[in-house]
Structure 1
Amino acid sequence: MKRYTPQAPIPTGLRGRCPRCGQGHLFQGFLTVRPACEACGLDYSSFESGDGPAFFVMTIVGLVVVALALWMEITYEPPMWVHALVAGSLSVGLSLILVRPLKGVLLALQYSNKAEQGRFR
């Protein structure tokens, strides 16, 4: 059995790479996790991030959008349609940018901490 150098989970997850070897891809498509690593053969079937990425994305995006909306209102007092346009496009854009890297980080952290599905039931 080949030994692998431990990978730092955060940069490895942000890049969407295999948490064991750092070479293979973690994702197949936008958010679908591959069945296994094409480089080292690590089985990804036990990996499950649950609602973690969605929670972190909603929290981060919500804070940014609300802070920007408050700043815009105090500084410029724009019409409501400007708020809706900025908040809507920023919410969708930031969510799409953040969800994949955050899911990769959570899956890599799950691997590096040897978390198991259903462990506390």
Structure 2
Amino acid sequence: MKRVELITIPKIEDTRGNLAVIEKECIPFDIKRVYYLYDVPTGAYRGAHAHKEQTEFLIALSGSFEVVLDDGFENRRIMLNQPNKGLLVPTMMWRELDNFSSGAVCLVLASDKFDEDDYIRDYDDFKSFKST
């Protein structure tokens, strides 16, 4: 869990509204893909996988949700509910996202383009992969 990091995103405060800025110095990888989750039904969860090579940075742009992380030895639950805080999820970290509030939007910045071969979608396979 040492590689998991909650990072404060620089923001510019203004009476007209705040502006958050993500530049190269903010996250430790080049962004190759951006996607977002929204309209997640009550009680549903997302994720339930790990990446062999890809690193991700998750931000709650609106609302809140929880991220459950598992490195194969330890579990950790982190609430994301501020648009100027992002969660760095390193490689080989099982993740599940749940407890989405109404109107929640999860922005994901990824270090690589989509590659199905990079995914581990079965938890038992993940545990086996971690033990090798």
State the TM-score, normalized to the length of structure 1: 0.29
State the TM-score, normalized to the length of structure 2: 0.28
The answer to which structure has the higher strand fraction is 2
The answer to which structure has the higher helix fraction is 1
Bigger Rg, which one = 1
